[in-house]
Each structure stands twice: as structure tokens, then as C-alpha cells.
Amino acid sequence: MAAKLSALQLFFALTWVVYVIYLPALAEQAGIERRFVLWILMMDQAIFIACDWAAGMYADRVANSMKRIGQPMAMVTLASCAAFLALPFVAPIAGAGAFLALTAFWSATSSALRAPSLALVSRHVPESKQAWVAGVFLFGMGLATGLAPFLALSLKGVDPRVPFAAASIALAIFALLLTQAERQHEPRPAEPAAAGEAPTAGRSLAFACAVLLLAIGFQIHFTVNSVPAWLRFAKATELPWLMPVFWLGFNLAILPATFLPRRYGGMRVMAAAAGVGAIALASMSRLPALEALIVVQFVAGAAWAVALNAAFTAALEAGRTGREGLLTGVLFSLLAVAAFARLGANVAGVQSGLAFAPGVAWFGAALIASALMMPRRSA
């Protein structure tokens, strides 16, 4: 099931990559000026913020009552794939309203492929395997994002209907395969929380703040600061080969990172990764050569992998009482909040002067995670 989950996330993330590549041209065909593309992307993230949380909560409700998530998830996924497949056909003939409505529908239904799919697999593995499940899930996402610059080059001049159709069909196939695999495995019973084990509201809020700081730091680093950093030492034509260095570090670290939370504890791993990443990000603007920047980008990507895996592992373990979907849905909503904030800063034109913001954000996350490692005070 884990391999199917990773493949599902790979093709889901590829649909997003293809969408972002072609969105300016499709919006123009629908009669929407290109300057509004960022607003469309913000709309997508706003939908993710609400729907990721709602989809996770609904997945828990269905699983707790029917003991299966796969069938409703597959049905929503097929609807999402159909909407995605239709986007390049609708854009040139139906106008802006229909295009935006279809985009919103696709964004909302695609939430079934994040928290519910992760909750589906996590319900069929023992607690000791939760970090591995989170790792293979994130590996698929990271691999697709790392391929984005190469896809942008290879898809130039290609009819959008071709990659949209290919990505939709592949995604639908793996969603159905994951549903079939669920029927062959009995879900593990939900475990009652041990006395004093359930996180308090204050600790849950602190954990959410740490994840949000990590996500904001990542967004600013990769989408705002990385290109200027590379262009200090390289030409613009070399960017497609340099930008994936961050994701190379991410993908090489994400599976080994799955062994760390069980041995050292999720908060300790998250704090250490955020601290190492903060040092790497803070040094980015002071590096003397391209070789040093390559190493630092690789380390930053690996730190993001370790910290993100620790966060998702913590959410799955805290949700093993039947709330896996809800808690992972909250994490995906937080990631969408960070993306929405970054896009909003772009629209508002306040992206300058953010060289040290990612390092500061990750350092703040490290401090919060370190504080969460302290034992709770007894009442």
C-alpha cells in the first residue's frame, strides 16, 4: 500500500505542476488577463485551506462508521480527474466564469488525495510504521516538485490537453489501485489515548505555530529567495538544473528520516532539523561560490524533509485514536496558509528584503519544538 500511496502522490503533485505551468496560457484563453493568475492561485490555496481540513475530518467519519475510506475517496478522485482533464478544453470555449468554476471544483475535490489517502494507509499499519507511511507519502510529492523545472522545459509547445490527460488518467488509475489494496488489508483498531497522553490545546496550538513557521520559511526560501541566490553565481539558463538541488536533498533524506522520530522523538527531530535548516538558510546570502550554495541548498532541502516528516509522523501518532484524517488535514491546511500568505505578499509587492526571513522563521520553529520537548507540569 505504501508504494501505491507514493505513486498516487507523485501523480497528484504532477497534476499541480502541469496546472501551474499552463495556467497563464489557459487563463488567457478563457479571457482572463495574466496579471490575475496569482489571484487564481490564491483562490486555489484558500480552497485547500478549508477543504483539506474538511476532507480529513470527513475521512475519519467515514472510516469510523464504514471501516473503509477508499470507495468514497476514489469517487471524489474520479470527479477531480474529470474536472482537471476538462480544464484545457473548457478554457478556450466557455469563458472566464466556467473556467474559474471548474478550477474551484478541481481544487476542492483534489483535497481527497491528501489527508484521506494518508489516513487510509496509516489505518492499516502499526504505530511503528507511521513515520514510514509519512515518508513515502512525502517522497512522491517531493519527486514531482523536483521534476517541475524539467517539465517546464520539456512541455514548451506541447498541447496542454496531452499532459492534462496523461496526468489525470495516471492519477485515476493509482487512486483505484489504492482503493483495491484497502480491501485486501484489515484496518488496525483505533487505540484509546493513554491517560495524560492527549495533547492540550496550548501544546496543539504551539505545534501548529511551529509547522506554520516552517512552511512560511520554506515558501519564502524556495519561491522568493532561491532564484536570486542562484543568479549570483549562475546564468538564468542554468536554473532548471540548479533549482532541483533543494529537492534532491529533500528526496534523498526523506526515507532515511523516517527512522529518526521513533528513536529520538518527533519534537527533538523536528527541533534539530529546523535548527540546522535555519543555519543553512541564514547563510545563503553570504556564500562565496556556487559550490557552497549547492551544498547549502542540499542541506536546506534535507532539513525540510526531516522536519516535515517529523511533523506528519507526530500528527499520525496523535490521531491514532481515529483522528488521522483530521490532524493530517490540519497540517495540509497550514501548508496552504503559508502558500496563500506568500502569494499574497507577491500580489502586494512586499517580497523584497526577505533574505533572512526563512532562517528567522525556521529558528522560531526550532525554539517552539524545543519548548514542546519539555515535560508537562502536573496539575
More confident residue, 41 or 148: 41
For cell 472566464, what's the residue?
Answer: 96
Burial (CB count <10 Å: 0-12, 13-18, 19+), residue 161 = middle
Q: What are phi and psi of 25, to 5 degrees?
A: -70, -40
Chain segment 114-149, per-residue pLDDT in tens:
888 887 777 777 777 788 888 888 998 899 888 888
Buried b / exposed e over 110-132, threshold 16 CB at 10 Å, is bbbbbbbbbbbbbbbbeeebbbb
Residue 63 has pLDDT above 80, yes or no: no
Chain segment 215-250, per-residue pLDDT in tens:
999 999 998 899 999 999 999 989 989 999 999 999
Domain 2-372 has CATH 1.20.1250.20: yes
**Residue 184: per-residue pLDDT:** 62
Chain segment 321-345, per-residue pLDDT in tens:
667 778 888 899 999 999 999 998 8
pTM for the full predicted model: 0.89
Whole-number percent of the chain with pLDDT over 90: 46
Chain segment 186-195, per-residue pLDDT in tens:
655 555 544 4
For residue 209, the one-letter residue type is C
Q: For 30-34, 112-116, 206-210, 372-376, which range has the lowest pLDDT when averaged over its residues?
A: 372-376
Q: What are phi and psi of 2, to 5 degrees?
A: -65, -40
Residues in the chain: 379
Confidence category of residue 5, pLDDT binned at 50, 70, 90 = confident
Q: Could you tell me the three cell numbers for 70?
A: 477508499
- Segment 49-57 mean pLDDT: 89
